[in-house]
Every structure is written in structure tokens, then in C-alpha cells.
Amino acid sequence: MNRVKTVQLGSIYLPKSRQAVTKTINSNVTYSEPITIPQNTTLVFQETTTVFDKSTCTTLSTTVHPAITIELPATLNPITSVDVPGVTTTTASPHGLSFALSQYASFGLKVGIVGGLYPATSLAPAIPFGPQVDATTVAAVPGDSTFDFVGGYLDTLALGCHDMRNVGAGYNSFLYSEPPTLSELLSMLNKYLVSILDPGNPSPTSTLLLRTHFIIDDTNNTISLLAPTHSFTAGNLVTTTTSQLLSTSTLSSILNLPNNTVDISTQKKMSDISSLPFVRYPTIPPGTYTHQELEALIATVLNPLDFTTTLPTDRTLNWVNVGGVPQMLVIPQGRYSGAQLANVLTDLMVAATGSSYYNVVYVSDPVTGEGRFTFSHAQSLLTGLDFTGATNANTAALLGFDPIAYSGSSMYTSPHVAVTGVSPGQEFPLSAFHLAGVSTSQHFTLSTVPEQTVFSNNMLVPPLEWITLDSSGLLGIVPGGYQAGQVLQIALSGPGPFPTGLAAGDVLTVVLEAPWDGTGGIPFATMKPTASILGVTTCAIEGLGIGTNAGPSPTVNVQITPLKRNVFQPHLSAPGAAAALLGFPPQTLPVLPSVEQIVCVDAAVGNSTFYAPTGTTGAATSYAAPFCWKLGPPDYVLMRLGGECEETTSNEHSYQGNRFMILAKLYTNPFFRHISEEMLHASFPSMRRITKLRVQFLNPDGSFVDWNGCHHTYSLLFTSEQGTARAICM
């Protein structure tokens, strides 16, 4: 092409519909679940005071104050002994009750005793979990691992089969502290740090001179820890106090803070919220959605491989065996990980044919977390999958297959990802989620789904979330499984016989000792040997089918529910978060002043500092969006030319503080045909011979537009050195 002076947009055609969600904007639903705190979790600070003489430029003294250690209560802490007559109780690791007793109740968090025999016959089964450990039941805390419990539980029964003193036969009780959300944990730490702040004490032993505090910074999506340096001058003497976070702080690994000794007085110590181990960030696939479609999609993304529907038609897989015989299997109800569902499908296909050559595997990308299923036959004989018809639509979508019939091969891999864009290893969230929209107000509500009750006919085969019975009342293969150390509730029902001291309706709180994947077997031996559930040789019928001598009794039914907080915390300030798409402010919810949350103010939605979610002050099970959803396309798209003209054109676009040069701003409301009266002309700094020109279409934030396969055309007018204009259509 001749030497060109200017480039101008001539004409353009844009499609009338585009996708509302792309991979680069409004695509992540980032949230954190309650934090399981391991034993021996500490936060350790140390302050140093120096006195400097300005007249002589010498340091007169340096005082390193004693380190201050904050013990946090472990989620589960074994009780190792109870002194007769049952007052002083000893735990396996430091109990952190000094922190818990002063902070947990104000955030609605509970500390209790689980395991052992709970409840005693005088207690109502409706109590959430074991006897409460609070200011009324703890008389004193004489040591880091001892406390005086006077609640009348640990020493109410005689030594023997129901020994609550933990002095015989290895019976165990546990101190159980409900896991806090991130904001709750940081808020409690801030309040505790304020409670031990004593700036008037020049020689502290268990107090702080500096105000140490955590901050959630939504502008940068970070957690910050800060203890500003304090200095004062008296004559020529300058006294300065600084603070360090010591490397012995084990909480640092949970919050991704530096694991070495660092000075937190001179600058903030930050960690990215999205990198925390308890934060999950599944991605919404690109597409154009109505609010009903997005509701279903969010349920699929946040609850992958969810077959909890009661309709067998939504859990049906039709396939063809090597003999050409059509087969039908119904996937048992439950929520599955990819590996668990692959095992269940394999077992069902083998059971239907009597052949062990059928195999289903699930492979997850180690980087993206996206997973696919592969059905195969070990002898490479022809098989088939039939996802046609309404009864297979749900199964096809969840497994990543198209609603068609697959034939002519011995192996089929899902053409679409079955589990989309989750963090590696996080394909099975501990909580179930639900998105509900109101079409009249165009507002979404994001919430956790209440856990369903679990029933078992005296066989402990509980999944992570649900177990259900078929019409005959018998158990099938149940997905999920439990992790070691998980706390469960068991309620007795049926006519009995029951262990001594128990009756129908009584609730036992138990702890699993070993993990169980939920895909086979009966984990009789995996329960901690608590006095309430373990049958022993010296006690008749003391077990519930879980002990050495007490076999299963078909007349005793066990109702099982996992004991965990049904709360979550959205982090809508995360990069690429779907905040604007769903109508939420770009921030961590709820906003808690006690954690000194720095709120990101978005001009598009206004200052949302005082947005309050539904639920408790510290966490919630439901969050209602304060703004309307934004499922349509943006108000405009941008056209940019790559190359030297990009930096010299006067057409500058600004969006939330970011600025870049553009050729044209193309308005999309009410149709995709309106071109701005401005920003249509770009000049080169000098005459340039053009051999190629890169044209980009951008969203308002600068991310690339994905046209989703729709046609679009445009023409450019190039003014050459002869002064003529030449149109080139694209």
C-alpha cells in the first residue's frame, strides 16, 4: 500500500447479539468456605523499642519485648483426660480458649464437646452439638491445654461402658470449635489484638504497644497485616517501636503470609485472597444467557456432577454393550467428584453385563482443573452411548457429551468439559450453592442450599452431603464419602433395641477416624471409639452395628447429617469476578468494619460500603444482590488499531482509571449499528507504508470481544500521500 497519512472508519456492521460472558471479564464466582483450623495454630508477634540520641547520633538502648503468642482454637481437639471428680480437662494440643471464650460468641460461633455419649438422657436432642463450652461452663483456664469444665457432662456417668472421663478403653471426646469464615477470623483477631493493646505500658509482657491489625483490601483483592511504627521525641531522644511477625506463627501458612520473620511496621504484608487454600474460583463458561439459563449454569458450575435430583429420568444413562444390546443405568443420587462418578459408572456397567472390560475414567487438567470423562472397552470392542431423548439431556450435559447417539467406536471422550474451570483439586465443594433471580426486579440472590437429612438402615454409608433411599427403603451405591476427622450427627429412630441409656430421637455427635470414599463397603471400623457408639466385649448391645461384637440390627435406623456451618463468603473483588454480571458490588461480602475492609468504589454501581447481606453479622447463607443483573452486552465496544498510530491518535478511552488509545467507540444500544460521532480518525506520526494492520475489538475494560461465531464487517479509509482516500473492506 502507498504511504499512508491517516486511517478512518468508513462503515461497520455488528451483530445484534453477542455473548454477555467472556473468559476475560465477569467470569469467576470466587468464594471461600469456613476455615478448618488445625491443632497448634498460633500467631506470634514481637516488638522492639529503640532509643536514639539525635545529638550524638547514637542508639542508647534496644529493648526486645517478650514475644506474644495467640493460640487459636483448633476445629477439632481430642480430650485426652478428665481428672476425677471430673473438673480439670486436658486436651491433646493447646485449646485456645482464651481467644475463643472472648471472641467466638460475638460472631455466633460455638464451641462444644462432641463424641463420647451425647446427649445424656436428660438433654434434648435438638441441641446443635455437644455441651457448650462458654463462660457459664468453664470455671477457669489454668493452662494452655487444660480447662475446668463444670457443665455436668464429662463426669455424669459412672466408669464403665459409658465412661466420659476418657480413662478407660480408649473412649474419646473432642473439643469442637466451629470453623470461621475469613472475615470472621480476621475480625476476631483484630478485636483480640485491640483487647491486649496497652500503649501506655513501656515494658509489656503480654500486651502490645502497637496497634496491629488485619485489612481486607478489595481494591487489590488482598489481605494485609500492618502494625504502624510508633515514634515520639522528647528533647534529643527519639523512641521508636516496631513490630515483627515471627516465623513461628503457624497461621501464616493458612493466610499465605510470609513464613519467615518479617517487619510489619514499615510496610504491609499482603497475600492474594484468590491464592488462599480455602478459596474457590470456578469459572462461568462463555455464552449468552437469560437469567433462567444462568441460574441453571451457576448451579452446575458451583455444584459439578450434582445428581441429587429425585427424578430418575434426570440420572439416566442409555448405552449399548458389545453385543449391541441397549442398556440403561440410573446414577444413584448424590454429589460426585469426577473420580467417584467414574468409579460408580464403571461398577454399574460391569454389574449390568458381568464383564470387567467396561471402564470409565475421569481426567482433570492439572492447570485449569477442567475435567472430561472417557468411556472405553478394554478389548477395543464396539460399544455405544445414547444421549438422545429428554431422559438423557441432564446426564449428557453433566458428563460433557452432546445430546446425540455415539457409535462405531470402543472409546468415547466427552467433547465438552464436564467440570469447568474450577481450581485444581476443588471440583467437589463442601457446600451446595443456588442462584435465584426475580425477573420483575432483575435481582439475583446467591445462597447455600440447606443440607438434606441422611438416613441409613443401621449401615453407616454417608456421602459428603447427601444419602437417599430408593422406593424399597434400601441403600444403593452412595457417592461422596467423608474425610478423617469429620464431625457427624447421628439421630436414632425405629423401634430399637438401643444401647443402654439411649432411645429413639437421641442425637449422637461422632468423629470419623479414617476417610471413606462412599463408593463401597460399610465403614464399621472407621468411627472414633466413642463410648456412645462402639460396642465392646464387656457391654452387651452397646453398639449400633459399628463395634466388634455388636452386629447390625435391622430394627435400628440411624439418621446422619454432617456437622458443619452452612455458610460461605463471596469474594467479588477477585480478578474477573462476576460481580457486575450478577448485580453485586466488587467487594468481599459481608463488609465488616471490624476487619477494616477497604471497599472498592465502582462508578458504575456507586459506593456500596454499607451493603448488608442477609444472615448473621459475621457470615451468611444468603446474599441478595443490591443491583440489577447485567446479562446483556456492554453499552459500547471499542475498535483499536495496532501499530504506531495507536500511540499517536488523540482518541483516548478511559475506564476505571485505565487509559488506552482507540480508533472508534461503537455504541450498542439499542442496536449494534450506531457509531460514535467522535473518535473515528487516527493519524500516523509520519507517512507510513503499511503492509499489515492489526484491528482489535475491545470491551469497555479493555478485554477482547468474543463474537461467539457471529459475523461482523467493517471498512477502513486510508488517506495516502497523494491525498486520495482508498476504502478497504474487512
List, as one string, the DSSP characters of 249-305. -THHHHHT--SS-EE-SSS-EEEEGGGSTTEE--BPPSB---HHHHHHHHHHHHSTT
> By residue range, what is the domain housing residue 462?
452-564
pLDDT in tens, 248-303: 999 998 998 877 788 888 767 788 998 898 888 888 877 778 888 888 788 777 77
Is there a domain that residue 60 lies in?
yes
Residues 282, 188: Cα–Cα separation, whole Å:
28
- The residue assigned the cell 460399610 is 522
Mean pLDDT of the chain: 75
Is there a domain that residue 286 lies in?
no
Within this chain, do residues 208 and 245 fall inside the same structural domain, yes or no?
yes
pTM, rounded to two decimals: 0.77
Q: Does residue 568 contact residue 33 with C-beta atoms inside 8 Å?
A: yes
pLDDT in tens, 369-425: 788 999 999 999 999 999 998 778 889 988 999 989 999 999 999 998 888 766 655
- The residues with which 112 forms a beta bridge, in sequence order, are 132, 176
**Beta-carbon neighbour count of residue 99 at 10 Å?**
19
Residues 68, 168: Cα–Cα separation, whole Å:
38
Model pLDDT, residue 538: 35
Query: Mean pLDDT across the stretch 722-730?
Result: 66
Question: Which residue, of 386, 413, 440, is where some domain finishes?
Answer: 413
- Measured CA distances, 124 to 119, 254, 461 (Å): 7, 37, 26
Is there a domain that residue 289 lies in?
no
**Which residues does 22 contact at the CB level (< 8 Å), separation at least 6?**
286, 699, 703, 704, 705, 706
The angle at the Cα of 501, spanning 500 to 504, to the nearest 5 degrees, equals 100
Model pLDDT, residue 68: 95
Within this chain, do residues 492 and 638 fall inside the same structural domain, yes or no?
no
pLDDT in tens, 572-608: 888 888 888 898 888 888 888 888 887 655 444 444 4
Within this chain, do residues 84 and 155 fall inside the same structural domain, yes or no?
yes
pLDDT in tens, 200-210: 888 888 899 99
Residue 717 buriedness (CB in 10 A; 0-12 / 13-18 / 19+)? middle
Within this chain, do residues 192 and 332 fall inside the same structural domain, yes or no?
no
| More confident of the two residues 19 and 657 | 657
Is there a domain that residue 32 lies in?
no
Residues 336, 463: Cα–Cα separation, whole Å:
9
Within this chain, do residues 199 and 64 fall inside the same structural domain, yes or no?
yes
Is there a domain that residue 574 lies in?
no
